[in-house]
Amino acid sequence: MIVAKFGGSSLADAEQFQKVGAIIHADNERRYVVPSAPGRQHENDDKVTDLLLSCHENVLSGTSCAALLDRVRSRFLKIADDLNINSDLLVKEMDEAQRHIKMGASRAYTASRGEYLNGLLLSQWLQMPFVDAARVIRFFRDGRLNHPETNRLIQEIIAPLGSAVVPGFYGADEDGSIHVFSRGGSDVSGALLAHGVNADVYENWTDVSGFRTADPRIVPDAKYIQDMTYRELRELSYMGATVLHEDAVFPVRLAGIPTRLRNTNDPLHPGTMIHYSPIRNGVTPIVTGIAGRKGFSSILIEKDQMNSEIGFGQRVLRILEEHGINFEHMPTGIDAMSVILTSSSLAPSREKILAEIDRAVKPDHLSVRDNLAMVATVGSGITKQYATAARLFTAIAEQGIGIKTMLMAPSELSILIGVEEKHLNTAITALYDAFIRT
């Protein structure tokens, strides 16, 4: 059994709906479908959800949102007309949604109507039962997901149907108030559904043919990744690979259900399969992928015999905690420690934080290095071959790039290096050539 989630670009117009229909009907194991709201039809177009959110802002400010709602209505009616779908139910539901929105409905309710209406339309096109996500995706009143109750409702309401279209991105609390996910919303919904119905595979259909071994804007011919693990996905996503965020598939990861990333516009491409653990059907590649991002700063603290001061690091981290700052990495030595954090989180209280660290630990030297980029070389096979680190350092040195910091993840899944931001693209290209192109 397969649960298939389709992103906004996959459902932007009638032509895309036809592609989705062909994909669903090509495999009768695709029994459950999770749609997003219609995305952009072209570069200068607007996403339906963005139009709805703009409408909500207009209502709050007392400005008319009639023109925005007309654009939303036109998008849905055009899709229905182009597909020769009876639009009576759609019109009724649009009228109801517009009435609530104009009366000042919540931001979450307004934002969710794109998925709700698209789900209704898609269920008619696919001739599958429609289930409102508000019935099965359960939140607590404070906006946190109630995963156990969600799982129970999916098993009780959806599983017996055998097939269904369930809109992504939103759900409701026990009082019926709509809540939405903050990141990768429809991806989370699809993963929850796949977990609840105990799917064999969760398919995530979008406009790219899977993960690539490096950012194609930096390495244009970067290869596609055929297989990877959820842990590798998390490492690469954290360092800037944005095709699919690991947080968006946590229910299937926990359940051991594999996720396959596919391209709606190229359905014959196998895409990328994400597994719970490395597959054993061949030689494990040393490196699965390379990713990096800018925007880091490093606080360097030096003090003789620092290692003998109990609680030294704790005092430093407590100061960051009191300012609501999360550190990213913390390379240490005997008489020095470095705390790496995002520059944007440090900036608002930079001088105050440095002064508090100075008073708390009385360092011999305290400084900040800005304009730092972190590059991750990720792969389950990194520790399975000798001289991996040597190859990495050689590749970087041959480009005349200085490494400002480095650390190997305790999981032995990745090696991270810090370089000046201006060298980020060169560093990624050099590592790609050293580990993947060869």
pLDDT in tens, 71-116: 999 999 999 999 999 999 999 999 999 999 999 999 999 999 999 9
User: What integer pLDDT is reported at residue 333 of this predicted model?
Assistant: 86
- Among 282, 284, 238, 250, which Cα is nearest to 384's? 284
User: What integer pLDDT is reported at residue 338 of this predicted model?
Assistant: 93
- pLDDT of 332 > 90? The answer is no
Average pLDDT over residues 409-426: 90
- pLDDT of 366 > 90? The answer is yes
Summarize the chain as % helix, strand, coil (round to 5): 45, 20, 35
Please report which confidence band the pLDDT of residue 355 belongs to, taking 50, 70 and 90 as the band edges: very high
User: What integer pLDDT is reported at residue 185 of this predicted model?
Assistant: 78
Instruction: For CATH 3.40.1160.10, list the domain ranges present in the chain.
Output: 2-207
Q: Which two tokens stand for residue 360?
A: 């708390």
Rounded to a whole number of angstroms, the distance between the first and last alpha carbons of the chain is 38
Please report which confidence band the pLDDT of residue 280 belongs to, taking 50, 70 and 90 as the band edges: low
Give me the count of residues in the chain. 438
- pLDDT of 283 > 70? The answer is no
How far is residue 102's CA from residue 281's CA, in Å, rounded to a whole number? 57
How far is residue 155's CA from residue 178's CA, in Å, rounded to a whole number? 21
Q: What would the 3-class secondary structure string for 329-346 be?
A: ECCECCCEEEEEEEHHHH
- Fold (topology level) of 289-437: VC0802-like (3.30.2130)
Q: CATH: 3.40.1160.10, 3.40.50.300, 3.20.20.70, 3.40.50.1000. Which one for 2-207?
A: 3.40.1160.10
Residue in this structure with the two tokens 């429809």, named with its chain if needed = 186
C-alpha distance from residue 65 to each of 52, 98, 101 (Å): 9, 10, 9
pTM (predicted TM-score):
0.87
Please check whether residue 382 is in contact with residue 409, taking contact to mean a CB–CB distance below 8 angstroms.
no
Instruction: For CATH 3.30.2130.10, list the domain ranges present in the chain.
Output: 289-437
Q: How far is CA 97 from the centre of its chain?
A: 28
- pLDDT of 282 > 60? The answer is no
User: What integer pLDDT is reported at residue 245 of this predicted model?
Assistant: 66
Calculate the dihedral angle through the C-alpha atoms of 412, 414, 417, 420, rounding to the nearest 10 degrees: -160
Task: Give DSSP secondary structure letters for 350-372.
Answer: HHHHHHHHHHHH--SEEEEEEEE
Please report which confidence band the pLDDT of residue 167 belongs to, taking 50, 70 and 90 as the band edges: very high
How far is residue 89's CA from residue 106's CA, in Å, rounded to a whole number? 23
- Among 153, 132, 127, 149, which Cα is nearest to 140's? 149
User: What integer pLDDT is reported at residue 25 of this predicted model?
Assistant: 95
Chain segment 223-273, per-residue pLDDT in tens: 999 999 988 888 888 777 777 766 778 889 888 999 999 999 999 999 999
- pLDDT of 297 > 90? The answer is yes
Chain segment 4-61, per-residue pLDDT in tens: 999 999 999 999 999 999 999 999 999 999 999 999 998 888 999 999 999 999 999 9
- Among 293, 192, 302, which Cα is nearest to 247's? 192
